[in-house]
C-alpha cells in the first residue's frame, strides 16, 4: 500500500510517500510545496492544487492521510490553512483518492508513543521507522520539519489500518 501523507499549510505544505509491505515501511519520496509569498490567495491555492494533483498523478498513492486542523490563536491563519486543506481534499477527490484525517496528538502518539511529543521526538521516531533515508536532502528543496510531519501522518495511517485489521480478525 502506498500512502500519501500531507502536512497542510498555505505557505508550506509537507508531503511524504510511504509504502507498507509485510509490516515493513519504505520511504518513497518526501518534499515541500511552497507558494509564492506575495501571491494572491487564489493563486496560492491554485498552485497547491496543481502540485498535489501532480504528486497524486505521478505516484498514484492508494490513499491520502492528512493532518486535521487544530486550534490556532490566529483566526486568519486557521482560515487560510483551512482553505488550503480544502484544495488538497479537492485534489484527492478529483483523482478518486480516499482521504483519512488525523489529529496532531493522535499522529504524535502513533509515531512516538507520546501525544505531546515535540518535533525532534517525532523526527527521531520517523527515522527509526524509515531509516537513515528520512533525512533532509541537500539536493532537494525541503524543510524537513514539514516533510517529517507529512511522513508521520502517513505512518500514523498505516498504524491505524493495521489496528483495524487486527480488531477485525479478532471479531471473526
Per-domain residue ranges of the chain: 2-171
The fold of 2-171 is: Nucleotidyltransferase; domain 5 (3.30.420)
Full-model pTM: 0.87
The string of DSSP letters for 106-140 reads HHHHHHHS-TT--HHHHHHHHHHHH-TTSS--TTS
Cell representation of residue 132: 537513515
Q: How far is CA 50 from CA 30, 45, 63, in A?
A: 17, 9, 18
The sheet that has 63-67: what strands, in order across it? 24-34, 12-21, 2-7, 63-67, 98-102
Each residue's pLDDT tens digit, 73-90: 667 778 888 999 999 999
Each residue's pLDDT tens digit, 28-79: 999 999 999 899 999 999 999 999 999 999 999 999 999 997 666 667 778 8
Amino acid at each position: 500500500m502506498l500512502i500519501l501523507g500531507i502536512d497542510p499549510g498555505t505557505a508550506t505544505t509537507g508531503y511524504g510517500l510511504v509504502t507498507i509491505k509485510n509490516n515493513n515501511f519504505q520511504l518513497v519520496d518526501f518534499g515541500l510545496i511552497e507558494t509564492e509569498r506575495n501571491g494572491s490567495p487564489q493563486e496560492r491555492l491554485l498552485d497547491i492544487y496543481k502540485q498535489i494533483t501532480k504528486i497524486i498523478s505521478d505516484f498514484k498513492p492508494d490513499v491520502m492521510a492528512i493532518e486535521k486542523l487544530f486550534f490556532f490563536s490566529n483566526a486568519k491563519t486557521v482560515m487560510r490553512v483551512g482553505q488550503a486543506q480544502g484544495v488538497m481534499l479537492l485534489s484527492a477527490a478529483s483523482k478518486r483518492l480516499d482521504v483519512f484525517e488525523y489529529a496532531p496528538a493522535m499522529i504524535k502518539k502513533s509515531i512516538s508513543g507520546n501525544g505531546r511529543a515535540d518535533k525532534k521526538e517525532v523526527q527521531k521516531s520517523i527515522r527509526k521507522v524509515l531509516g537513515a533515508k528520512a533525512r533532509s536532502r541537500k539536493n532537494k528543496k525541503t524543510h524537513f520539519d514539514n516533510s517529517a510531519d507529512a511522513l508521520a501522518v502517513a505512518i500514523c495511517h498505516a498504524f491505524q489500518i493495521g489496528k483495524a485489521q487486527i480488531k477485525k480478525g479478532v471479531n471473526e
